[in-house]
Amino acid sequence: MFEELPSLCPVQFFGVSADCLFLPRGAMRADKRFLLPSTSELLDEDSFADLYVAWNFDKFSFLVDVHVPFQKVDDDVRKGDSIELFFDTRDLKSKGVVSRFCHHFVFYPAQIHGFYGREVTRFRNEDVHRLCHPEDLTVSPKILDNGYRLEIEIPAHCLTGFDPMSFPRIGFTYRINRAEGPPQHFAVSSNEYAIEQYPAMWGTLKLVKQDD
């Protein structure tokens, strides 16, 4: 009987959460205080990127350092180099489908169709929101000899339901794709689940102000 059960990663036995610190002003920087912990070992995958994240009432800020050389971008995001970010602004772990509070963004180290980033959320029912315009997203790429860096800002108005005073936790995960090799994830692997369809499986970011 047990031989018929699918293999489980250690991370599937508990929920993953991390602090997301407040950034009062200025740009995101590679400061260890903002570094999201890696779950690659728990997911039995290679770790080849560092992701820093912070928030304030106006936006979420990210800095992503990818330590493998840039190869290409592709219309199929899984076949090229890209960063996918997933949000549930209400962290609804009991919700089985993508709701209007869920968002799926993809960002590239090179322009594709004139943009470096866009929202690609796909809903499974009538509980929807209008997708944000790519021009609302701020993306600053830098190609390096042995990798690349993306600075990303997602304004609060692009995140339906974002209300940190009433809901100081958000559901969150990411998928960092590379043209050659498997991706890197946070909290849940797309080798086990279609993560864009199951927000209840995502990790949690606790929105923390340092003076709390």
Average pLDDT over residues 61-89: 97
Report pLDDT for 95: 73
pLDDT at 76 over 80: yes
The domains of the chain are located at 15-208
pLDDT-derived band at 65, boundaries 50, 70, 90: very high
> For 15-208, CATH number?
2.60.40.1190
Average pLDDT, the chain: 91
| 167-183: pLDDT as tens digits | 999 999 999 999 999 99
pLDDT at 61 over 60: yes
Torsion of CA 192, 80, 83, 153, to 10 degrees: -160
For residues 164 and 205, is the Cβ–Cβ distance under 8 A? no
Report the alpha-carbon angle 171-172-178, nearest 5: 160
Report pLDDT for 5: 39
| 102-119: pLDDT as tens digits | 999 999 999 999 999 999
| 7-52: pLDDT as tens digits | 444 444 457 899 999 999 877 888 999 999 999 998 999 999 999 9
What residues pair up with 173 in beta bridges, in sequence order?
A: 86
pLDDT at 57 over 60: yes
What residues pair up with 61 in beta bridges, in sequence order?
A: 54, 153
Q: What is the 3-state secondary structure (H, E, C) of the chain?
A: CHHHCCCCCHHHHCCCEEEEEECCCCCCCCCHHHECCCCCCCCCCCCCEEEEEEECCCEEEEEEEECCCCCCCCCCHHHCCEEEEEEECCCCCCCCCCCCCEEEEEEEEEEECCEEEEECCCCCCCCCCCCCCHHHCEEEEEEECCEEEEEEEEEHHHCCCCCCCCCCEEEEEEEEECCCCCCEECCCCCCCCCHHHCHHHCEEEEEECCCC
Report pLDDT for 193: 86
Report pLDDT for 211: 58
Report pLDDT for 93: 87
